[in-house]
A and B are shown apart, each in its own frame.
Chain A
């Protein structure tokens, strides 16, 4: 669901095909019939944006008909936990939860969502699941109206088909069988994307599929190594290993405050201090010991708002951003509301583009969208653009971390041509020059840059390469893995008298379990710790394909665990739920957890361990709490804290929708950022007759995102030469659009032209009594490259999901007409 796995992940999809050959059932639920649907056992067409109703109905069905895995739910989820009495649900407030502040359009006060706690602060539970305030009962009330009839009405899915899906899931979950859920950008790029994923997670928890082989929720990431880009992040709100970036808006002025507000007292996150100190040590070396880390902590940039790419685009448009580095990124065509993006680029003073080709972003100052590609007047644009050639993935050494958290090392095959250099080379040498530039500065704010540890030279130039100053990627990996800063026998650590190793000589740490908060260890990203545990053993480079779980192939963080929370594959007593699906179990003789994977649990904690009152850290987690990253060790059906738009997934319509929300008066996500004050971001009103057609965007196998790499390749261009829109024969007949002709698609943000692919793979749906049409648009075209076409993102809007600020490109509205742009 929300994924076109065969088209976007063709190398992974064969595993699904293989599973199907062995008897698994593949169900594909998607607005358009794609190459994935062609191999599925069951294809369900659905209205884009209505996923939560579909999933909510399944949740309701499970709860009402005893379809859930009872033992699993009672012991491993927070179904039994009681929520505070002052909690108000969307059923009570017609689409809102308690704590909503209309002035800020946010849930400013989430305290009413919290658990009821006893005197020790521990959550109160009712294992019988009967108490009206227990999560189980709250969920029953919350999803009471998500019926099969509602599915038919809102999603356009006949209830027989929905029932087939529900029934197949139930039959294939439980003790003996598991079902897997795969999603991708079809779920994430929505104004309620996080909640949709949550609904999938709830469903899987209720079915007992999490932490078990053949189960789980798999996020199919959108690019190669994009998983890595959130692990060792390029994201503004994260430090490595999913520690949050400190914020000036929160009481986090000191390191201690930061730890207090971001860490947790119980559960695995109680190790938080070790990770943040080790990170600071890795970055700032000796200086990270000053004031027990406070000095270096102050050097870390603090958030003062939403600095995500899209929010920053508006800042850029307002002239508040001076410069821009684009590494393999193409916002002029690939980011939402790309007309605005191109305008924003014009307000920059300078821009550096590192890419393989002159992308749309690099060329924005002299070229514009088809059909008038030369209509841009460079003399009116002040931005100074530097276009630098980048090395392609085969021309540099490094790692990819893909879906499934697998880190795989890549060797370099050839030198990049000419002046092209890897991103690592670029950043490293830029850093060196900046350090030189500021070496003599007396300003306190420059001390951070001066203290930055920045030595990643190769000992000898790489043999056979003409590039003599390429940094040592494996050394960087070592820092990410972590190392002991001082010899073990040193007792004067942190006093400035201890002799520290250089990065190159320092002994590797074997894993994150040995990281300390006293400055004796350094680690660039704690979740990766263990990938390079000793010299010569780069586990990301291993390619041994033996065994049931391929533990010798690459390295999966954390600690090479292939399935997270795999404690849940055994019952509370530590025995596998079934022989057939056994994965991790408690070995009574050896008094440890064992099995086919690295146990995601303290190795020696027995299943019957009960935490004493007032226990902290991992001691507060019992022997039957598999979800160790949560303070209560339970899988959260209900999320008391941590999300900006509600503890339970709720159906909201997309920001632009042809129909009213059938369930609540609250039309769309109350906490999303709508940028309503922006005149360029006009949104169509609900049921606007000028924009009655639902449009969803998606990929084709033959090209990659905005085509910045692929539309320069003649072989690929011949496979998919032109932008086309897919529409049903019924819609084409209505509008007089002929198959193979040209059509114009318009939204409140702009218009584009495309070829018309009239196909029955798109079908009109019956929503709430009337016909709703959907069209589909790939988005791979732009005004650069050897084939050109309209930019689909010229249609999309800037409405951002509240938790992660992602755009809603998967469900908005448009209109169509035959013809071309003037």
Chain B
């Protein structure tokens, strides 16, 4: 499995896959405290089939981390007034209404249907909104009208682009294999912000001016406690635990849902090798990822370094050659 090589690299002493030169330089300026011993990789399994959209996760996260509230803005995007993850928003509940003919989302200013009411009822009957099944037939696991709800969070990627991009070493992988931003080191260059393919990490412009994101409640984990959002979630839509065990559970859960006829259910970040290693904080979705603004298979930014450098070298060589030729005469 693609995850394995990463795990091999993560031994005490060669923490974060650091090469010797880097270690030498770092040893001149970095801390002398040895890194804590490795623990099993911990993460989240967010099962959206259980989410009731209560937003307890959002509030618990704010409260535990004492994050300031956003200015209230009524978005009209269903019940999602939070909008997106950001520097001071580390859990974000999404709402997607698919009522009637599978209409996705409530777009502002979208044209309203102008067919007669009778036609709409007939259409609803034929599309299955109003079931025509004989009475007594088994009810579907989810009714044909859907309101999808999902608690978004940092994906704590196995190969985190933010961590790969960070030039100060502020972003590290902890002993729990979570991705963590050390707030006393980050200088706010914001390279991680453009590296993240999910738009998770951002610079806290109004506060610390550093990059901030979900810590997976590192401080709670160190004391053996469950992250605040998982603790608050009433339906256990957010599950916290060892990544391997959670993934096994997620596969099982997917099987159960498929058995029950929820064909649209799928996993995201489990077996699909997202960013070549999967996600430590992964999801069970009830729609294709794009509906949740999730990229299906985002390119891994650090993979671009070699080919981009190659073309730079080619250009440099050509220009250098030309320069030499022109100046020799």
Contacts and interface: CB of A to CB of B under 8 A. Distances in A.
B149 A41 contact: no
Interface stretch (B54-62, B208-216, B291-299, B309-317): B54-62
Label chain B's interface by main secondary structure: loop
Contacts, number: 157
Given A164-B131, A168-B139, A739-B108, A718 B52 contact: no
A594 interface: no
A738 interface: yes
B135 A719 contact: no
Contact of B130 (A158, A717, A718): A158
Contact of B147 (A37, A160, A161): A37
B54 A7 contact: yes
B21 interface: no
A113 B110 CA distance: 58
Contacts of A787: 72
A14 B135 contact: no
B26 interface: no
A738 B81 contact: no
Interface in B45-71: 50, 52-56, 58-59, 62-63, 68-71
Given A701-B54, A718-B69, A755-B76, A164 B139 contact: yes
Contacts of A39: 50, 52, 142
A419 to B, nearest CB: 26
B327 interface: no
Nearest to A762: B99
Contact of B99 (A11, A759, A766): A759
B140 A41 contact: yes
Contact of A38 (B59, B76, B117, B146): B146
Contact of A761 (B58, B97, B108, B142): B97
Contacts of B72: 714, 717-718, 721-722, 787
A64 to B, nearest CB: 15
A730 B117 contact: yes
Contacts of A755: 74, 76
A33 B74 CA distance: 20
Contacts of A761: 97, 99, 147
Contacts of A739: 76, 106, 108-110
A715 interface: yes
A757 B114 CA distance: 19
Contacts of A38: 52-53, 142, 146-149
B112 A42 contact: no
A168 B59 contact: no
Contact of B54 (A6, A27, A717, A729): A6
Interface string B141-175: 11101111100000000000000000000000000
Interface in B14-57: 50, 52-56
Interface string A721-740: 11010000110110000111
B136 A171 contact: yes
Contact of A719 (B82, B137, B146, B235): B82
Contact of A14 (B112, B139, B234): B234
B103 A718 contact: no
Contact of B143 (A41, A721, A756): A41
B127 interface: no
Nearest to B132: A160
A17 B73 CA distance: 31
A785 to B, nearest CB: 11
Contacts of B78: 759
B76 A757 contact: yes
Nearest to A719: B55
B54 A721 contact: no
A41 B139 contact: yes
Given A701-B54, A721-B81, A161 B131 contact: yes
A787 B74 CA distance: 11
B72 to A, nearest CB: 3
Given A38-B146, A167-B135, A761-B147, A733 B114 contact: yes
Interface residues of A, number: 60
A759 B56 contact: no
B131 A160 contact: yes
A758 interface: yes
Nearest to B115: A730
A29 B92 CA distance: 29
B52 A10 contact: yes
B112 A733 contact: yes
Given A164-B135, A168-B139, A715-B62, A35 B147 contact: yes
Nearest to A44: B143
A724 B106 CA distance: 15
A223 to B, nearest CB: 17
B121 interface: yes
Contacts of B82: 718-719
A428 B73 CA distance: 44
B113 interface: yes
Contact of B52 (A6, A164, A733, A740): A6
B237 to A, nearest CB: 9
A373 to B, nearest CB: 17
Given A10-B234, A35-B147, A721-B74, A760 B108 contact: no
Given A163-B135, A759-B99, A766-B117, A719 B58 contact: yes
A11 B234 contact: yes
The CB with the most chain A CB atoms within 10 A, among B76, B117, B141, is that of B76
Contacts of A41: 139-143
Contacts of A738: 108-109
A27 B146 CA distance: 14
A100 interface: no
A764 B115 CA distance: 13
A714 B69 contact: yes
Interface in B68-95: 68-74, 76, 78-79, 81-82
A755 B74 CA distance: 9
Nearest to A40: B143
A33 B108 contact: no
B54 A25 contact: no
B241 interface: no
A483 interface: no
A42 B147 CA distance: 13
Given A37-B143, A38-B149, A739-B109, A720 B234 contact: no
9 contacts: A10-B234, A38-B142, A42-B143, A701-B55, A718-B70, A718-B72, A724-B74, A739-B106, A761-B97
Given A38-B52, A724-B74, 12 more contacts: A6-B53, A27-B139, A35-B149, A40-B143, A41-B139, A160-B135, A167-B136, A714-B72, A724-B76, A729-B113, A740-B76, A758-B112
Interface of B: 50, 52-56, 58-59, 62-63, 68-74, 76, 78-79, 81-82, 97, 99-100, 103, 106, 108-110, 112-114, 117, 120-121, 125, 130-133, 135-137, 139-143, 145-149, 234-236
CB-CB nearest 6 A-B residue pairs: A721-B72, A714-B69, A760-B99, A38-B147, A722-B74, A163-B135
